[in-house]
Amino acid sequence: MNLAEDAPHHLVVRTVPITDPGNLLSRLPQPTALAWVRHGEGIVGWGEAARITIPGGDDRFTAANHRLAELLDTAHIDDPLHIPGSGPVAFGAFGFDPKAESTLIVPAAILGRRNGQAWYTSITPRGATPETLNLLHPPLPPTITGWSDGTLTAPAWARAVAQAVTHIRAGRLGKVVLARDLYAHATEPIDARTPLGRLATRFPGCYTFAVDGLIGATPELLIRRTGHTIDSLVLAGTTARGTDPTDDRNRATQLLNSAKDREEHAYAADMVRDALTPLCTDLDIPTDPRLLTLSNVMHLASPVHGHLAEQRSALDVLAALHPTPAVCGTPTNTALDLIRELEVMDRGRYAGPVGWTDARGDGEWGIALRCAELTGNRARLFAGCGIVADSDPTAELAEAQTKFRPMQYALEG
């Protein structure tokens, strides 16, 4: 499919400073939402000025970069702010598997806020009328009528974990991440805005996102690119929050001292270091992970900070990073093959990169975790766990259930 079939040429882009718009997610005028928000800052979008579909393949990030550049090279851009997220922006969601199709969407309207500065961007074909900020359709809470198993039942998934442990102990690989799915059913088509608002309120430190029906709140920043500066946050190793402060402290200590979880984390941190070092003049990754505490879980976390050696866009850096051992395993190709064999499902965009990029190549991309695919009156939820030699299938099943809860809360309230 060529660009002319996906998007109109000669877009007109106009960014204007505005007064503080308040809650960004509450300003979304229709159920189909585009969003990337953390601690109340970020960008939201609606409408569709252009859609770029990227076929699967090892060069998909490069292809996405080139095709977006082709589109924006012909655009007339009036952007007096010149800050990350102003001017034309493409929201994107890439399939987890390199063979999967991916999508970039340039919205017709964008509302943003960063560091006390707010803006509105309209993006239209030349001669068209820009979108307005009016609330066209008030959001309606979803009415969930029931839940059903996804591809595998809980006992079947636990058996898949046991098989994975057997492969690991036999020396075939060091780690694999196995995911499972779960379905929610509603009486009416699910409006993305209500669950997005619930996620942003309950998990303000996560990146609440929405792209083409994929919604969620991920704690994992895959890459932030601002000029030549890059940041990432490696998460691997998880435990549920405690039932009281004493239990919480004990769980935190156990996680920090867990050989199994530290091994799982080391695989992910080492891969990010190996992938980013050739791209950077300097790169800082701590020797030991720290604790990231969310409302429902705790993770082992390693923040990453560096400076790019040459001009590379956020999509260029994604090409070097995805998939990390935090969502796939190691060695990568062996883990991918085992995932395809044992999960018996198509992950779609779960655990793939999700986020945005602008005309300057700046952007923020996370990993699509704690998420759901919305299709009409059905939501497909996902949760995954890192499996290593010491993994226990029963414990992994409990961890996966804990990871389903944010989206279950978002849908049921």
Active site residues: 175, 220
CA 275 centroid distance within chain? 19
| Residue at token pair 């809650």 | 23
Cα–Cα distance measured from residue 86 to residue 78, given in angstroms and rounded to the nearest whole number: 10
CA 268 centroid distance within chain? 17
C-beta separation of 192 from 407 below 8 A: no
Bridge partners (DSSP) of residue 144 are 186
Helices 332-343 and 154-169 pack at an angle, to 10 degrees, of: 150
Return all residues near 266 (Cβ < 8 A) that are at least 6 apart.
none
Question: How many other C-beta atoms are found inside a 10 Å radius of the C-beta of residue 244?
Answer: 9
Bridge partners (DSSP) of residue 407 are none
For the chain, first and last CA: distance in Å? 41
The tokens for 263 are 């091994």
129 class by beta-carbon count within 10 Å (0-12 exposed, 13-18 middle, 19+ buried):
exposed
179 class by beta-carbon count within 10 Å (0-12 exposed, 13-18 middle, 19+ buried):
buried
Cα–Cα distance measured from residue 403 to residue 394, given in angstroms and rounded to the nearest whole number: 15
DSSP classification of residue 327: T
Cα–Cα distance measured from residue 313 to residue 165, given in angstroms and rounded to the nearest whole number: 38
| DSSP secondary structure letters along 338-394 | HHHHHH-S--TTTTSEEEEEETTS-EEEEE--SEEEEETTEEEEEEEEEE-TT--HH
Is residue 323 reached through a cis peptide bond, with omega within 30 degrees of 0 on the bond before it?
Answer: yes
The tokens for 252 are 């935190």
C-beta separation of 361 from 313 below 8 A: yes
Question: How many other C-beta atoms are found inside a 10 Å radius of the C-beta of residue 247?
Answer: 12
C-beta separation of 148 from 183 below 8 A: yes
| Residue at token pair 């190691």 | 330
